[in-house]
Structure 1
Amino acid sequence: MKRLFLGVFSIICMLVANPINAQDKDTPNFAKLDASPMDLVLYRNQNDEAIARVIYSRPQKRDRDIFGKLVPYGEVWRTGANEATELTFYKDMQVADVTVEAGTYTLYTIPNEKEWTIILNKNTNTWGAYEYTDEDDMVRINVPVRQSPNTIEALSMAFEGTPDGTNLLIGWDDEYVKVPFKNVK
């Protein structure tokens, strides 16, 4: 009787711990949602022409201290999570005093307390900032840090149109920056 009880108990434990799902064989093995999901932001001008696009992963604040802690001041950052953030220009744009040709670039930043250095780098398809080298920098521009009136829970990016181009807004936690891109005349 004791063996029968242990046998039945073992079978019940296996069924509860490892349920049999006949559908599992036919169901694709989809990955669970990434903790820092990938996102895309696109800027179109008044004529509905695509001007710029950013692909990035969005880490979450989750009650953490972000700038100066999770993202150290003075160090090159991938500007997101996972793969390094990529910026594509669909037409030539002016960044600082440099004309940047249409194409795809990696967007790195160096956050500091009062300003960020924004870097467009020609080495693309990289993970994090591990392969970063300033030898591949196309342009660098410093922009002031602005205080957000509300906490930004997930790293966020957006474009805002300007009379002569667009600004890329990058915000997280309680701050954001504006990166100006001007139309090449």
Structure 2
Amino acid sequence: MKYFIFIFSLFIATSAVQAQEIAFSKIDKSPLDVVIHRDNNNQAIARVIYSRPAKRDRKIFGELVKYGEVWRTGANEATEIDFFYDVTINGNLVKAGAYSIYTIPGEEEWTFILNSQTNQWGTKHDPSKDILKVTMDSMPSPQTIEEFSISFVEDPDGLILFMGWDNTLVNLPIQVAQL
């Protein structure tokens, strides 16, 4: 009899779990990604956390992302960059810390904006918190870039931050102020 009660209880418990629908979040159309640049000793120098929207047969720059307007530089939450050491960008010292990245795309060049406010939705740019605005070179990409992408490339003077999407690449040299 105890065996029967045990089996019956197990059946009821299993049925109750199966009857409940487990709700997992759906795959985001602009998934989150992280890129990290490390030194020769594997110490992190900089990290970018961002969402990667897809082109999906759309014209991106000049239409979806307007020229001359502040762009969240990705999708969803504001793109965040963490510097683990003080850096210099275009001759401007930037202290180690976390910042948001915004950009103003243009046909020939872009404006890179470093903002002290983090953890906000990407369209909530507060210009009073901008700590740095510099221009970035823009160039055509040799091939179409389907998903917005950010990468670091090693440079003799530090690193270069690359951003690309659709048929456009931009880059920003960054020098490490201390190591």
Corresponding residue of 2:52: 58
Moved over 3 A (4+): none
What is the 5 A alignment of 1:98-177? 98-130=92-124, 132-177=125-170
Unaligned runs of 5+ in 2: 1-14
Per-residue deviation, residues 83-132 of structure 1 (Å, max 9, x unmatched):
010000011000112111110000000001000000100011110222x2
Q: Secondary structure at the match of 2:143?
A: strand
- In structure 2, give the amino acid aligned to 1:52: A
Shift of 1:34: 0.3
TM-score, normalization by structure 1:
0.84
- Counterpart amino acid of 2:100? T
Please tell me the residue identity of whatever aligns with 1:68.
G
Other-structure match for 1:23: 18
Contact kept, 8 Å, 2:60 with 2:166, in 1: the verdict is yes
Corresponding pairs, count: 164
TM-score (norm 2): 0.87
- 1:66-81 equivalences under 5 Å are 66-81=60-75
Structure 1: give runs of 5+ residues left out of the alignment: 1-19
- Output the aligned Cα RMSD: 1.6
Q: Which amino acid aligns with 1:84?
A: A
Quote the offset at 1:76 in angstroms.
0.5
Q: Measure how far apart 1:23 and its partner are.
A: 2.6
